[in-house]
Amino acid sequence: MQLWFARASTVSLQEQLKTQIILGILSGDLAPGQRLPSTRELARRYHLHPNTISAGYRQLERDRWVEFRHGSGVYIRDRKPKAISSSAFSLDRLIADLMRSARELGVPLSAVRSRVRQWLEVQPPDHFLLVEGDEELRSILAAEIQQAVSLPVRGCGLEGGLSDAAQGAVALALANKAKLVREALPEGIELLTLAVRSVPTSLAGWLPAPPTTLLGIASRWPEFLKLARTILTAAGFHPDSLVFRDARKPDWQRGLKQTSAIICDSLTAKSLPKGSLVIAFPLLSEASIAELRRHQDFITAAL
């Protein structure tokens, strides 16, 4: 596990540790059930105080990102339901499994055939529905998804329920919100879980940080700016070399033309000054984008 720590940063070392582990979990760099390095190991490797690491691990445990196993260590919590990948089975095997399960439940063949016929006659979904309570994050993710697929992408929060909004849709949610969204969805509505992009992989081409580079960071999503500050300073960028701009505020583009490059989300990238070197940082992982495209192909074949 690759971690970065900047001791001169205004962001605490504990916060840097927590942020990087959470991003590692969401991006898939850290898998469910994976054992994290011990407090002693991290302290020795990164020259940190053990109390800093221990406090970070405890906060992650309280937030249910990790779990402590007595006498064994700290492990990534299994947040995703255990599922069998459909790619591991042929269609005939899936049908055989369905029939076997029906027999075990005592469901007659006539009922199975009737139910399958109903499913086949249902109108296929004709759009994606992104369920995300943070309006700015929802706008960014929806823009990224719409760039990758041709089916319409709509968005909503959890307020007021999802019964009406989810009709005729394939629902989408980030991994850390999937459980809440699943509970709010009506029966029969499919939910796809989205993973975020791996930050270490995306930063690899920019490290080590050039000491004289003036770098701009812009976004309408406050959490993007917070995460960028934490990760970039931990990765070695000097705080004075980072220019942060909240794209929701007036005159937010001020000073960005003087930067060597501007890191931003894919939505903010459309509003940046012409001639700037723009590094649009996609939030969604390539695996999630590929899964959305496969799902779209499956749906559109039936339309």
**pLDDT, tens only, 271-287:** 987 888 898 888 999 99
pLDDT at 89: 38
Please check whether residue 110 lies inside any domain of the structure: yes
Burial level of 138, CB count in 10 A (0-12/13-18/19+)? middle
What pLDDT score was predicted for residue 106? 87
Task: Tell whether 146 is covered by a domain.
Answer: yes
pTM score above 0.75: no
- Supply the range of the domain harboring residue 52: 13-76
Please indicate, yes or no, whether residues 188 and 216 belong to a single structural domain of this protein: no
Q: What is the pLDDT of residues 201-237, one digit of tens each?
A: 777 676 666 777 889 999 999 999 998 888 888 877 8
Considering the domain architecture, whether residues 155 and 300 belong to the same structural domain is answered as: yes
Token pair for 122: 């249902």
Q: Is the pLDDT of residue 58 over 90?
A: yes
Same domain, 303 and 274: no
Structural domain count, the chain? 4
Provide the pLDDT for residue 87: 43
Q: Who contacts 38 (Cβ-Cβ below 8 Å, separation ≥6)?
A: 73, 74
Of the candidate ranges 45-59, 76-90, 267-281, the one whose mean pLDDT is the lowest: 76-90
Does residue 2 sit within a domain? no
Tell me: do 174 and 296 sit in the same domain: yes
* CA nearest to 282, candidates 296, 272, 269: 269
Pick 90 or 174 by higher pLDDT: 174
Query: Do 215 and 239 touch, CB atoms closer than 8 A?
Result: no
Q: Determine phi and psi for 259, rounding to 5 degrees.
A: -85, 155
What distances in angstroms separate CA 114 from CA 6, 106, 119, one per listed residue?
62, 15, 9
Q: Is residue 25 part of a domain?
A: yes
Cα–Cα dist 1/41, whole Å: 12
Tell me: do 22 and 58 sit in the same domain. Answer: yes
Tell me what the mean pLDDT of segment 46-65 comes to.
93
Predicted local confidence at residue 74, as pLDDT:
95
Let me know whether 208 and 274 are in one domain: yes
Rounded to an integer, the average pLDDT of 165-174 is: 91
Of 108, 173, 110, 117, which is closest to residue 141 (Cα–Cα)? Answer: 173
User: Which CATH number covers residue 29?
Assistant: 1.10.10.10
| Least confidently predicted of 83-92, 145-154, 164-173, 236-245 | 83-92
Q: State how far the Cα of 170 lies from the Cα of 193, in Å rounded to an integer.
A: 11
Percentage of the chain surpassing pLDDT 90?
A: 46
Q: DSSP per residue over 32-53, as a string? A: TTPBPPPHHHHHHHHT--HHHH
Q: Return the H-helix or E-strand segment holding 141.
A: helix 135-148
How would you class 178 by CB atoms within 10 Å of its CB: exposed for 0-12, middle for 13-18, buried for 19 or more?
buried
Q: Given pLDDT bands bounded at 50, 70 and 90, which one contains residue 193?
A: very high
Residue 85 lies in a domain: no
How is residue 265 annotated by DSSP?
Answer: -
- Does some domain include residue 96? yes
Question: In this structure, is the dihedral angle defined by the CA atoms of residues 133, 136, 141 and 143, taken in order, positive or negative?
Answer: positive
Q: What pLDDT was estimated at residue 209?
A: 66
